[in-house]
C-alpha cells in the first residue's frame, strides 16, 4: 500500500515536472526543416583546418580537466574528512571548510590544464592574457566560488540540522530564490561602459521597439578578447552587455545590430526567467539525489558528508549537462530567430556567423559527442541554416 | 632556542627633558650629517667585509669592530630620535654609555654560502625593519593598462610612537612606557637586521618582542589579554596556501557583522552615557564581535591554524581574548571615547603594517615548513592583542586604554580560556 502511494506520488511529481517542462519549452520559432549545409561552401579550407585543430585541443583539455576534477573529488570524498581537524568552527563551519578545501584541491589539480589551455589559446592567437594573470585570477576567483559554496552549505546544513533528510525540500526553493537574486544583481556586478556609437544607440532603440522590449541599457565590457555578448537581469536590472571585441572591426555595424537584436530577443522571450524556471526544475531532483547519496554518510547535517556531496554534485552536473545544453540551444535558436525577424538582415546575420569561425576558432560542425556535452549554442552550421531558412520564408512572405 | 647574539639593553627611566624633546629633530641635525658620512664609509667597508668573509670564512677583526660601532651608534641615534632614550648620544658608538644600548658578538666563523646570498636572505628582515623602525613608507611605481600607479607600505611603528610620545612628554615630562617599549623593540630589531646585513652575525633577526625586551620590566596586566597555547605553531600547508580565498566568506560575514556592531556600539554609547554602565545585551553582542574579530584576524594573518567559527564563541579558538565583565564607566571617558582613541588608532595602524608584512613572511615559511616562525608569531600576537584592546576600548567593553608595550602583562596569562575565566 505504502509502495503504491509512493509510486503514485512519484508519478504525480514526474507529471507535474513534465507539464512545467513543456510550458517552459514553448518557443516562437516555427517548425523549421533546417538544411544540412556543407562547411566547405562557407569557409576556406584553412579556416576549417584551424578551427578543427584548435577545437580538438580544447576538447582534449576539457576531457582531461573533467577527469582530473572527478578524480580529485573522488579522492577528497574518501579522505577529505581528515581536514575536519583543521577547523575550530563547529558543525556548519567545518562543513564549509571541507567544501572549500574540496574545490581548492580541484583548482590545484586543474591548474596544469588551465595553464595548458592558456598556452593553447595564446598559441592559436585567441588570447594575449599572461599565465600569471590567469593563474592568479583563478586563485582569487576561488574566493567568489567559496563564498557561494559557504552560503549553499550554510543553507543545506542549517536545514538538515532542523528537518533532517528532508532538507532538500525547503532547500531547493532557497536555491531558486538565490538564482533569482543572482540574476537580478549580475548586471550591476558586470558594470560596463556606455555604448559610444550614436548609430548603434539609435539602432538599439529601433530594435527595442520592434521586439517590444523597452528601456534596456546596452553596455560595453572592455578588455575582452573574445567576441561575445550577453543579456542578463530581471525587471529594472535588465541589460545587454557587448564585449568590446564584438563592436570592433572586422565586425560591421549591421552585424553588431544583429547581435543586439539577438540579445534583446533573449529578454523579449523572458529567457532569464525561463532559465530560472528550468533551474528550479533541476534543483528539486538534484537536491533530492544529493540528500539520498549522502544519507549513508550521516546526511548533510554532519560535515563528514560534505566531501562526498561535492562529488555527487559535480557528477550530477556532468550527467545533466547534455539536457541543459539542449535547453540553452533551444533558447539561443529562439533568440537567433527573433533577431532575424527584427532586422530582416540575413546577409549581416550570415556574415556575423561566418566571422565567428576565424575569430573564435569554433568548429562550425563539431563531432556529436562535443555537440551533446559541450555546445550550449546551436552550431555555426545550424545557425547559418536558420538564416537560410529565414531568407527563404522572408522571400515567400508578402 | 639560543639567545640572539645581538642583545638590546634598556636602562631608561622614562624621564625626559621637555626642552630637548621639543627641539629633538633640530638637535639631531649634526647626527644626521655624521650618520650620512659614516654610512658612505660603511657601504664600502661592507663590500670589503663581504669579500673578506667569503674568502676567509670569518669577518676581519678591524672591519667587524667598525661595523659594530656603526650599528651601536645608529641604535643610539634611533633611540634618541624615537624618544626611547633621553640623553644626547655620542658620535662614536661606544658600548655601555647610553641608556639604550646594543650588545654585539665577537667575530665568528660564518657559512660562506649564506654569506654569498646574505643580502637576498635579508630582504624579509629589511621589510619588517621598515615597518617597525622605518621613518616612512616605501612606494613601488608600476605601469598598468590605464596609467601609472604606485603601491607600497611600511608602518613605521617607532615613528608613530615617537610622534605620540612627543606630545605626552611635553605634557607630562615622561615617555609613556608602552610607547617607549614599542620604540625600543623597533630599535632592537633594526640593530639585529643591520648586524645580519653587515655580517656582524649570521643569526637571522628575531622578531619575538619578548626575547628582544628581556631586560625590560613588564607592564601591569591589561584587562583585555590573549590566551591560548602560544607554542602551537603548526600550520596545515593546504590551509596556508588557500588562506586568502578561504578567508573571503569570513570577510563578507565580518563586514556585515561590523555594520551591526557599529549600530549596536552607538546604542551602547548612549546607554553607557545615560546609565553609566553598558547595557547587558549590547555588552554580550559586542564581546562576541570583538572575539570574532580576533579569531578572523588570527586566521587571516596566520597567527593561528584552524578555520574559525562565525559566532565569536568563547574558548573555541586556539587564540582567544579574555574580556572584562560589564561594569560602571566614567561618563567623561565614555563621552569622548572616540577622540581619546585617536592615538591608539595611529599605533594600531602602524602595527597593522608590521602585521601584514609578518603575515606575508609567515605564509612563505609556513608553506615550506608547516609551522609559523616563533618570532613572527609573537610579533603578530602583539599586534592582535593591541587591536583587541583597541576594539574593546572603542566598544566600551573596557575603560582601560590599550597598552602599546610589546610585552605581555606582568601576570602570566593562563594557558586556556577556562583557566583564565
CA distances from A41 to A381, A382, A390 (A): 11, 14, 19
CA distances from A55 to A333, A354, A360, A393 (A): 22, 16, 10, 33
- Residue A312 C-alpha cell reads as 555527487
Distance CA(B388)–CA(B374), nearest Å, equals 21
The pLDDT-based confidence of B147 (bands split at 50, 70, 90) is low
Q: Does B145 touch chain A (CB under 8 A)?
A: yes
The pLDDT-based confidence of B154 (bands split at 50, 70, 90) is very low
Beta carbons of A150 and B244 less than 8 Å apart: no
**How confident is the model over B374-398, as a mean pLDDT?**
95
Number of H helices, E strands in chain A: 12, 5
**Tens digits of residue pLDDT in A209-238:** 888 888 888 999 887 778 889 999 998 999
B153 pLDDT exceeds 50? no
Residues on chain B touching A76 (C-beta within 8 angstroms): none
Q: Does A143 touch chain B (CB under 8 A)?
A: yes
What's the confidence (pLDDT) of residue A65?
A: 93
Number of H helices, E strands in chain B: 18, 7
What's the confidence (pLDDT) of residue B55?
A: 94
**Tens digits of residue pLDDT in B234-259:** 999 999 999 988 998 899 999 999 99
The pLDDT-based confidence of A195 (bands split at 50, 70, 90) is confident
Q: Does B248 touch chain A (CB under 8 A)?
A: yes
The helix/strand/coil state of A242 is: strand
* Mean pLDDT (chain A, rounded): 89
- Residue B88 C-alpha cell reads as 644626547
Least Cα separation, residue B136 to chain A (angstroms) = 30
Q: Does A89 touch chain B (CB under 8 A)?
A: yes
Among candidate residues A255, A375, A373, A262, the one with its CA nearest the CA of residue A320: A373
- Residue A32 C-alpha cell reads as 523549421
Who has greater pLDDT, A2 or B24? B24
- Residue A170 C-alpha cell reads as 525547503
The pLDDT-based confidence of A89 (bands split at 50, 70, 90) is confident
B152 pLDDT exceeds 50? no
Rg, C-alpha atoms of chain A: 23
Q: Does B28 touch chain A (CB under 8 A)?
A: no
Q: Does A278 touch chain B (CB under 8 A)?
A: no
Residues on chain B touching A93 (C-beta within 8 angstroms): 307-310
The pLDDT-based confidence of B412 (bands split at 50, 70, 90) is low
CB pairs under 8 A between A and B: 73
Beta carbons of A96 and B249 less than 8 Å apart: yes
Chain B nearest-CA residue for A138? B245
Contacts of A38 (CB under 8 A, 6+ apart): none
**Tens digits of residue pLDDT in A358-375:** 888 889 999 999 999 999
Q: What's the CATH code, domain A193-264?
A: 3.30.2010.10
B170 pLDDT exceeds 50? yes
Q: Please tell me the pTM assigned to this model.
A: 0.81
Contact predicate A200/A247, CB 8 Å: yes
Instruction: Give the mutation candidate from A82, A89, A225 for the B interface (greatest B CB count, under 10 A).
Output: A89
The pLDDT-based confidence of A133 (bands split at 50, 70, 90) is confident
Among candidate residues A12, A25, A15, the one with its CA nearest the CA of residue A329: A25
What's the confidence (pLDDT) of residue B414?
A: 47
What's the confidence (pLDDT) of residue A391?
A: 86
B140 pLDDT exceeds 70? no
The packing angle between helices B29-56 and B61-81, to 10°, is 150
The pLDDT-based confidence of B134 (bands split at 50, 70, 90) is low
Query: Side-chain half-sphere of B27: how many Cα atoms within 13 Å?
Result: 17
**Tens digits of residue pLDDT in B288-338:** 999 999 999 999 999 999 999 999 988 889 999 999 999 999 999 999 999
Beta carbons of A89 and B310 less than 8 Å apart: yes
What's the confidence (pLDDT) of residue B144?
A: 54
CA distances from B75 to A27, A36, B9 (A): 81, 85, 11
Instruction: Give the mutation candidate from B144, B249, B291, B299 for the A interface (greatest A CB count, under 10 A).
Output: B249
Distance CA(A257)–CA(A346), nearest Å, equals 12
**How confident is the model over B103-111, as a mean pLDDT?**
93
What's the confidence (pLDDT) of residue B139?
A: 47
What's the confidence (pLDDT) of residue B151?
A: 42
B367 pLDDT exceeds 80? yes
Q: Does A391 touch chain B (CB under 8 A)?
A: no
Distance CA(A84)–CA(A88), nearest Å, equals 9
Kindly tell me the sign of the dihedral angle through the C-alpha atoms of A210, A213, A219, A221. negative
The pLDDT-based confidence of B150 (bands split at 50, 70, 90) is very low
Distance CA(A272)–CA(A331), nearest Å, equals 10
What's the confidence (pLDDT) of residue B316?
A: 86
Instruction: Give the mutation candidate from B306, B313, B367 for the A interface (greatest A CB count, under 10 A).
Output: B306
Distance CA(A282)–CA(A253), nearest Å, equals 39
Least Cα separation, residue A100 to chain B (angstroms) = 7
Contact predicate B275/B356, CB 8 Å: no
Distance CA(B187)–CA(B84), nearest Å, equals 9
A135 pLDDT exceeds 60? yes
Beta carbons of B239 and A86 less than 8 Å apart: yes
Q: Does B305 touch chain A (CB under 8 A)?
A: yes
The helix/strand/coil state of B10 is: strand
Residues on chain A touching B246 (C-beta within 8 angstroms): 97, 100, 104, 146
Contacts of B209 (CB under 8 A, 6+ apart): B185, B378, B379, B382, B406, B407
The pLDDT-based confidence of B173 (bands split at 50, 70, 90) is very high
A347 pLDDT exceeds 50? yes
* Mean pLDDT (chain B, rounded): 89
Least Cα separation, residue A323 to chain B (angstroms) = 32
Q: Where are the domains of chain A?
A: 43-192+265-396, 193-264
**How confident is the model over B267-286, as a mean pLDDT?**
94
CA distances from B60 to B51, B70, B196, B199 (A): 10, 16, 15, 10
What's the confidence (pLDDT) of residue B135?
A: 43
What's the confidence (pLDDT) of residue A227?
A: 87
**How confident is the model over A278-293, as a mean pLDDT?**
93
Neighbours of B37 (CB within 10 A): 10
B145 pLDDT exceeds 90? no
What's the confidence (pLDDT) of residue A394?
A: 66
Q: Does A22 touch chain B (CB under 8 A)?
A: no
The pLDDT-based confidence of A334 (bands split at 50, 70, 90) is very high
What's the confidence (pLDDT) of residue A230?
A: 92
Q: Does B260 touch chain A (CB under 8 A)?
A: no
CA distances from A346 to A34, A256, A322, A338, B186 (A): 15, 13, 30, 12, 74
B226 pLDDT exceeds 50? yes
Contact predicate A50/A356, CB 8 Å: no
Instruction: Give the mutation candidate from A93, A102, A153 for the B interface (greatest B CB count, under 10 A).
Output: A93
Beta carbons of B306 and A89 less than 8 Å apart: yes
B386 pLDDT exceeds 50? yes
**Tens digits of residue pLDDT in A7-52:** 888 899 889 999 999 999 988 888 878 888 888 888 889 999 999 9
Nearest CB to B246: which of A92, A144, A146? A146
B136 pLDDT exceeds 50? no
Least Cα separation, residue A91 to chain B (angstroms) = 9
Assign residue A235 a region (left: φ > 0; alpha: ψ between -120 and 50; beta: otherwise). left
B202 pLDDT exceeds 70? yes
Amino acid at each position: 500500500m505504502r509502495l503504491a502511494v509512493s509510486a503514485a506520488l512519484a508519478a504525480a511529481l514526474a507529471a507535474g515536472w513534465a507539464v512545467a517542462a513543456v510550458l517552459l519549452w514553448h518557443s516562437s520559432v516555427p517548425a523549421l526543416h533546417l538544411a544540412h549545409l556543407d562547411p566547405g561552401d562557407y569557409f576556406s579550407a584553412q579556416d576549417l583546418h584551424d578551427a578543427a585543430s584548435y577545437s580538438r585541443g580544447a576538447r582534449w583539455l576539457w576531457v582531461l580537466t573533467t577527469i582530473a576534477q572527478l578524480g580529485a573529488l573522488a579522492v577528497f570524498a574518501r579522505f577529505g574528512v581528515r581536514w575536519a581537524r583543521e577547523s575550530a568552527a563547529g558543525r556548519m563551519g567545518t562543513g564549509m571548510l571541507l567544501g572549500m578545501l574540496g574545490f581548492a584541491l580541484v583548482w590545484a589539480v586543474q591548474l596544469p590544464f588551465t595553464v595548458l589551455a592558456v598556452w593553447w589559446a595564446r598559441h592559436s592567437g585567441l588570447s594575449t592574457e599572461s599565465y600569471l594573470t590567469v593563474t592568479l585570477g583563478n586563485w582569487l576567483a576561488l574566493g567568489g566560488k567559496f563564498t557561494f559554496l559557504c552560503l549553499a552549505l550554510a543553507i543545506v546544513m542549517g536545514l538538515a540540522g532542523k528537518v533532517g533528510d528532508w532538507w532538500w525540500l525547503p532547500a531547493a526553493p532557497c536555491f531558486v530564490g538565490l538564482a533569482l537574486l543572482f540574476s537580478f544583481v549580475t548586471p550591476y556586478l558586470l558594470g560596463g561602459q556606455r555604448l559610444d556609437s550614436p548609430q548603434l544607440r539609435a539602432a538599439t532603440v529601433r530594435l527595442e521597439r520592434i521586439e517590444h522590449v523597452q528601456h534596456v541599457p546596452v553596455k560595453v565590457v572592455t578588455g575582452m578578447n573574445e567576441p561575445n555578448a550577453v543579456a542578463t537581469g530581471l525587471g529594472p536590472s535588465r541589460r545587454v552587455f557587448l564585449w568590446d571585441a564584438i563592436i570592433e572591426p572586422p565586425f560591421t555595424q549591421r552585424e553588431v545590430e544583429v547581435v543586439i537584436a539577438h540579445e534583446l530577443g533573449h529578454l523579449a522571450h523572458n529567457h532569464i526567467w525561463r532559465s530560472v524556471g528550468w533551474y528550479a526544475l533541476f534543483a528539486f531532483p538534484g537536491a533530492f539525489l544529493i540528500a539520498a547519496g549522502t544519507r549513508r554518510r550521516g546526511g548533510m547535517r554532519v560535515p563528514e558528508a560534505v566531501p562526498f556531496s561535492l562529488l555527487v554534485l559535480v557528477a550530477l552536473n556532468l550527467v545533466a549537462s547534455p539536457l541543459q545544453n539542449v535547453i540553452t540551444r533551444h533558447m539561443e535558436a529562439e533568440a537567433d530567430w527573433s533577431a532575424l525577424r527584427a532586422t530582416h538582415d540575413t546577409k549581416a546575420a550570415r556574415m556575423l556567423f561566418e566571422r565567428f569561425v576565424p575569430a573564435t576558432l569554433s568548429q562550425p560542425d563539431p563531432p556529436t559527442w562535443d555537440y551533446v556535452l559541450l555546445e550550449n549554442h546551436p552550431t555555426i552550421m545550424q545557425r547559418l541554416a536558420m538564416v537560410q531558412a529565414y531568407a527563404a520564408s522572408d522571400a515567400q512572405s508578402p | 632556542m639560543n639567545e640572539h647574539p645581538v642583545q638590546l639593553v634598556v636602562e631608561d627611566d622614562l624621564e625626559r627633558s621637555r626642552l630637548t624633546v621639543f627641539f629633538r629633530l633640530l638637535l639631531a641635525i649634526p647626527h644626521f650629517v655624521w650618520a650620512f658620512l659614516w654610512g658612505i664609509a660603511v657601504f664600502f667597508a661592507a663590500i670589503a667585509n663581504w669579500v673578506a668573509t667569503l674568502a676567509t670564512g670569518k669577518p676581519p677583526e678591524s672591519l667587524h669592530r667598525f661595523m659594530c660601532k656603526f650599528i651601536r651608534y645608529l641604535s643610539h641615534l634611533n633611540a634618541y630620535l624615537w624618544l626611547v632614550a633621553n640623553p644626547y648620544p655620542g658620535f662614536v658608538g661606544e658600548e655601555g654609555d647610553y641608556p639604550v644600548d646594543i650588545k654585539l658578538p665577537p667575530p665568528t666563523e660564518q657559512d660562506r654560502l649564506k654569506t654569498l646570498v646574505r643580502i637576498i636572505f635579508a630582504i624579509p628582515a629589511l621589510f619588517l625593519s621598515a615597518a617597525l623602525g622605518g621613518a616612512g613608507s616605501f612606494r613601488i611605481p608600476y605601469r598598468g593598462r590605464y596609467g601609472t600607479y604606485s603601491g607600497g607600505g611600511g608602518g613605521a611603528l617607532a615613528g608613530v610612537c615617537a610622534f605620540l610620545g612627543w606630545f605626552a612628554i611635553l605634557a607630562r615630562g615622561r615617555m609613556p612606557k608602552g610607547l617607549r617599549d614599542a620604540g625600543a623593540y623597533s630599535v632592537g630589531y633594526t640593530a639585529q637586521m643591520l648586524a645580519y646585513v653587515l655580517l656582524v652575525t649570521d643569526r637571522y633577526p628575531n622578531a619575538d618582542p619578548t626575547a628582544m625586551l628581556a631586560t625590560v620590566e613588564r607592564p601591569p596586566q591589561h584587562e583585555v589579554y590573549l590566551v591560548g597555547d602560544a607554542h602551537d605553531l603548526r600550520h596545515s600547508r593546504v590551509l596556508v596556501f588557500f588562506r586568502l580565498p578561504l578567508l573571503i566568506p569570513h570577510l563578507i560575514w565580518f563586514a556585515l557583522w561590523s555594520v551591526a556592531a557599529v549600530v549596536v556600539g552607538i546604542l551602547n554609547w548612549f546607554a553607557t552615557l545615560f546609565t553609566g554602565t553598558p547595557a547587558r545585551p549590547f555588552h554580550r553582542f559586542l564581546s562576541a564581535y570583538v572575539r570574532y574579530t580576533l579569531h578572523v584576524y588570527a586566521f587571516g594573518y596566520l597567527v593561528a591554524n584552524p578555520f574559525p567559527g562565525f559566532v565569536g564563541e568563547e574558548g573555541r579558538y586556539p587564540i582567544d581574548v579574555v574580556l572584562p565583565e560589564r561594569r560602571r564607566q566614567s561618563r567623561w571617558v565614555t563621552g569622548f571615547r572616540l577622540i581619546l582613541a585617536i592615538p591608539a588608532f595611529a599605533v594600531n595602524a602602524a602595527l597593522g603594517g608590521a602585521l601584514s608584512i609578518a603575515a606575508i613572511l609567515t605564509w612563505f615559511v609556513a608553506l615550506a615548513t608547516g609551522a609559523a616562525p616563533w618570532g613572527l608569531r609573537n610579533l603578530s600576537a602583539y599586534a592582535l592583542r593591541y587591536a583587541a584592546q583597541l576594539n574593546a576600548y572603542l566598544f566600551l567593553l573596557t575603560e582601560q586604554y590599550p597598552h602599546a608595550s610589546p610585552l605581555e602583562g606582568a601576570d602570566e596569562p593562563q594557558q586556556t580560556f577556562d583557566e583564565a575565566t
